[in-house]
Amino acid sequence: MRLDIDTLEGGAIGVSCALTLHGGSMRFALASSLEISGLRRGGEVLPPPAGEPCELPFRPQMSAYTLRGEPGDEFTFTYSGRLGGALLYFQSEVRHFSLYNGWYPMEFDADTDIDVTLPGDIAWELIQGRYDAARGLWRYTTRGRAIPDCNILLLRRGWWTRLESGALRLYYCEADQALPAGEAIRACSKIRAFYRSLYGREGASRELTLVYLPHGQDWGAYMRDGLVVFSSLPKDTSALRHTLAHELGHAYACRADSLSWEDWLNETGAEWSALLYELHADRPAFELRLDKLLELSESHPLCLRPPDGSRPDEVHETGTLVFARIYKKYGEEAIITLLRTLDGLQQPDTAALLSALRAQGEDSLAGELGAYISPQTP
Ligand SMILES: [Zn+2]
């Protein structure tokens, strides 16, 4: 799919989209605030597609559309409107919109290989983008990325401080981010070295960019291939290290379907990668966190898969609490086995994890974990 962003002003975008049908139809979702017009199949003008409301986690109100035709049919259309949703920045020093704003055709049958162009203003720097001087525009692609997200992050030159250490680059724009930024640079290489030894592979691309967004949206942090973005400052050094370790942990053991209940694997994989790092780097901080988790596990319904199989709201917590119980009962080695097995799965889901554990003779671990899939009373 090709997306050419034509306009980019005051929270609104205008985009020309070109895509090719692989089967007889393509269903995709786009933010409801964006209006589609000028639909064509080849040279043929078609009426704009009718959207139906659709809910997706972490997205604003979305609409689902279906394009019908023959395999190989090429469709073009434009869409425009104001963006909404979390982590949307249209201000002097940064323009940022991504998956969380539903700004491009996504989900269902939409292509995940997407090439994007943006107006080529060199007063800005496009993170993970490439400036095409010949055409005078910025290019961004999702090709080769494990987490497909058209993550547009434009930083206005001159407003940002950039720190560099080896293949690591960090950008911040507010005075009180200077100290945490320095701390993050130091912690990052230690965390990555720990993960390399834990998982026996590099994980995220060697190049890593960290960005501290301006204050205003306390939403936490998120990770994409080779990129970690913070929207709020962790309250102390320990919290900063933990958040960073969690986000970097998403480069491992985290390829399960994030729209289903299987997302528990992603969050538990990242969180327990971070906890194991802490166990070695800052044992008192680890013990404190573990005590809290064990206490919570007493009052929390430890059910990984809700009866209707949907993605539960507490998908971030439940697996982490289950692993805390497993850690208490079997120790660190059991968690290492779980994480490495999860990281090595061809098909990253719970059923595959259980059978891979059994294949290694880890029947008790598989049995223990299996007992938490269906509802449990605490
Ligand atoms: Zn996470």
Looking at the predicted structure, is the pLDDT value of residue 18 above 90? yes
Rounded to the nearest angstrom, the distance between the alpha carbon of 97 and the centre of ligand 1 is 19
Percent of the chain with pLDDT over 90: 78
Looking at the predicted structure, is the pLDDT value of residue 298 above 80? yes
pLDDT of residue 375: 55
Q: Mean of the pLDDT values across residues 288-310?
A: 91
For residue 126, the SS3 value is strand
Rounded to the nearest angstrom, the distance between the alpha carbon of 269 and the centre of ligand 1 is 9
Mean pLDDT of the chain: 93
Helix axes 283-299, 318-330, angle to 10 degrees: 110
pLDDT digits (tens, 9 = 90+) for 142-177: 998 888 899 999 999 999 999 998 888 999 999 999
Instruction: Give the domain 2-156 fold.
Output: Immunoglobulin-like (2.60.40)
Token pair 């393509």 in the structure block, residue:
26
Rounded to the nearest angstrom, the distance between the alpha carbon of 310 and the centre of ligand 1 is 18
pLDDT digits (tens, 9 = 90+) for 28-58: 999 999 999 999 999 999 999 999 999 998 8
Rounded to the nearest angstrom, the distance between the alpha carbon of 268 and the centre of ligand 1 is 8
Rounded to the nearest angstrom, the distance between the alpha carbon of 18 and the centre of ligand 1 is 32
Say how far apart CA 6 and CA 4 lie, in whole Å.
6
Residue-wise DSSP of 101-131: GT-S-BSTT--S--EEEEE--TTEEETT-EE
pLDDT of residue 61: 98
Rounded to the nearest angstrom, the distance between the alpha carbon of 219 and the centre of ligand 1 is 12
C-alpha pair distances (Å), 196 with each of 149, 169, 185, 339, 369: 25, 19, 17, 13, 26
Q: Which of 61, 156, 143, 161 is nearest to 101 (CA)?
A: 61
Rounded to the nearest angstrom, the distance between the alpha carbon of 316 and the centre of ligand 1 is 7
Structure tokens at 233: 């400052």
Say how far apart CA 277 and CA 191 lie, in whole Å.
7
Rounded to the nearest angstrom, the distance between the alpha carbon of 101 and the centre of ligand 1 is 18
Rounded to the nearest angstrom, the distance between the alpha carbon of 44 and the centre of ligand 1 is 44
For residue 261, the SS3 value is coil
Rounded to the nearest angstrom, the distance between the alpha carbon of 17 and the centre of ligand 1 is 31
Looking at the predicted structure, is the pLDDT value of residue 339 above 90? yes
Rounded to the nearest angstrom, the distance between the alpha carbon of 179 and the centre of ligand 1 is 24
pLDDT band at 378 (very low <50, low <70, confident <90, very high): very low
Rounded to the nearest angstrom, the distance between the alpha carbon of 250 and the centre of ligand 1 is 7
CATH 2.60.40-classified regions of the chain? 2-156
Rounded to the nearest angstrom, the distance between the alpha carbon of 108 and the centre of ligand 1 is 23
Instruction: Give the domain 161-249 fold.
Output: Glutaredoxin (3.40.30)
pLDDT of residue 306: 86
pLDDT digits (tens, 9 = 90+) for 86-119: 999 999 999 999 999 999 999 999 999 999 999 9
Say how far apart CA 187 and CA 181 lie, in whole Å.
10
Rounded to the nearest angstrom, the distance between the alpha carbon of 123 and the centre of ligand 1 is 33
Rounded to the nearest angstrom, the distance between the alpha carbon of 267 and the centre of ligand 1 is 5
Rounded to the nearest angstrom, the distance between the alpha carbon of 70 and the centre of ligand 1 is 39
pLDDT of residue 166: 83
Least confident interval from 185-199, 278-292, 306-320: 306-320
Rounded to the nearest angstrom, the distance between the alpha carbon of 58 and the centre of ligand 1 is 13
pLDDT of residue 295: 97
Looking at the predicted structure, is the pLDDT value of residue 313 above 90? no
Rounded to the nearest angstrom, the distance between the alpha carbon of 221 and the centre of ligand 1 is 8
Beta pairing partners, 91: 94
Rounded to the nearest angstrom, the distance between the alpha carbon of 49 and the centre of ligand 1 is 35
Cβ atoms within 10 Å, residue 281 = 16
pLDDT band at 204 (very low <50, low <70, confident <90, very high): low
Buried b (16+ CB within 10 A) or exposed e, 178-194: eebbebbbebbeebbeb
pLDDT band at 377 (very low <50, low <70, confident <90, very high): very low
CATH 3.40.30.160-classified regions of the chain? 161-249
Rounded to the nearest angstrom, the distance between the alpha carbon of 168 and the centre of ligand 1 is 20
Rounded to the nearest angstrom, the distance between the alpha carbon of 222 and the centre of ligand 1 is 7
pLDDT band at 273 (very low <50, low <70, confident <90, very high): very high
Stated length of the chain: 378
Q: Mean of the pLDDT values across residues 175-188?
A: 92
Rounded to the nearest angstrom, the distance between the alpha carbon of 247 and the centre of ligand 1 is 6
pLDDT band at 203 (very low <50, low <70, confident <90, very high): confident
Least confident interval from 59-63, 198-202, 373-377: 373-377
Give pTM, 2 decimals.
0.85
pLDDT digits (tens, 9 = 90+) for 119-136: 988 999 999 999 999 999
Q: How many Cα atoms sit within 13 Å of 317 on the Cβ side?
A: 16
